[in-house]
Amino acid sequence: MTNASSTTAAAAAAQATVVAPLRSRGYWATVWLRLRRDKVSMGCAGLLLGLILMALLAPWLAPHDPAQGVMSQRLAPIGTPGHWLGTDELGRDMLSRLMHGGRMSLVMGLLPVFIAFVVGTGLGVVAGFFGGWLNSVIMRTTDVFFAFPAVLLAIAISGALGAGFANAIISLTLVFIPPIARVAESITTSVRNLDFVDAARATGAGAFTLIRVHVLGNVLGPVFIYATSLVSVCMILAAGLSFLGLGVKPPVPEWGLMLNTLRQSIYLQPWISVLPGLMIFITSLCFNLLSDGLRSAMDIKR
């Protein structure tokens, strides 16, 4: 009995020694530790960082001018000296165009989601916290957008506004505000009546203080994770708009637009034709896997 008690006490002490640092560590430090242990998420984060750096440094890293082509070298195969990824239908270097195209594709994938995250979270928090007629007005308005599939809604808004980068950003932002607002409203509704919010309200804290100090801290994390999962969808929708001629205009390099211009060459140089689509696929997959990793890392209770 004495040995068993000593063993139990020693195990409890060892467990307390291990758990104590975890409890003393801050929330975000714990999230970072859990995320760092996820090799898939860290690999995707590293790949995305490389793609972002490639896009930012494209003017210095690209071996050729992405808008200048040589017709005598059009549709050169992959591995051609001086054009390692071949050339497109106008003889422009594919590697240079993929580098420069990543700038526009990443902006069109990240910027609408970021704007929608800010606007949608604000609308959802206000609707969920105050409730009543304000909740009905905001949420019933967003419900109108749910009547249409995201693809058709983006095409319809872009078609009404006209082709162009700015109009594509507006259309994609309007598509993603309603789902983010609904997630934020749902979480805020469940948080506003918790004990710590009621205690702060009893001390005389105003609505703005309650939202800023007590509500947003519990809402931003889950909504941010949900928003990161929408980046891949946004990139695909942006590429689809450019493919249909409703996004950026030639000769600006953009992966979706490059797919459109190369589709007629797919029977001549299929590998070159699929390169922009491969870049879209890899980037979207990395954003999805990173979002899953963030979700698991922020689920501290698990």
**35 occurs within a structural domain:** no
**283 occurs within a structural domain:** yes
pLDDT for residue 42 = 93
* Per-residue pLDDT of the chain in tens (302 residues, 90 and over written 9): 444 444 344 444 434 434 444 444 577 788 888 888 889 999 999 999 999 999 999 999 999 988 888 888 888 888 888 889 989 888 899 999 999 999 999 999 999 999 999 999 999 999 999 988 999 999 999 988 888 888 899 999 998 988 888 999 999 999 999 999 999 999 999 888 888 887 878 888 788 888 888 888 888 888 998 999 899 899 999 999 988 888 888 888 899 989 888 888 888 888 888 999 999 999 999 999 999 988 888 876 64
**37 occurs within a structural domain:** no
pLDDT for residue 24 = 45
**6 occurs within a structural domain:** no
Could you tell me the two tokens for 147? 């009547």
As a dihedral over the C-alpha atoms of residue 205, residue 208, residue 214, residue 220, rounded to 10 degrees, the angle is 180
pLDDT for residue 168 = 92
3-state secondary structure of 80: strand
* DSSP per-residue codes, 141-168: HHHHHTTS-HHHHHHHHHHHH-SSHHHH
Per the structure, the count of domains in the chain is 1
Closest CA to 86 of 102, 70, 100: 70
**92 occurs within a structural domain:** yes
**14 occurs within a structural domain:** no
Q: How far apart are CA 294 and CA 302, in angstroms?
A: 13
Phi–psi pair at 123, nearest 5 degrees: -65, -45
Q: How far apart are CA 210 and CA 243, in angstroms?
A: 46
Query: pTM score, two decimals?
Result: 0.85
Cα dihedral across residues 96, 100, 105, 106: positive or negative: positive
Q: Provide the CATH number for the domain around residue 114.
A: 1.10.3720.10
**130 occurs within a structural domain:** yes
**15 occurs within a structural domain:** no
Q: How far apart are CA 97 and CA 66, in angstroms?
A: 5
List the domain range (segments joined by +) for residue 227. Answer: 43-71+88-298
Tell me, rounded to whole angstroms, the distance of Cα 71 from its chain centroid: 38
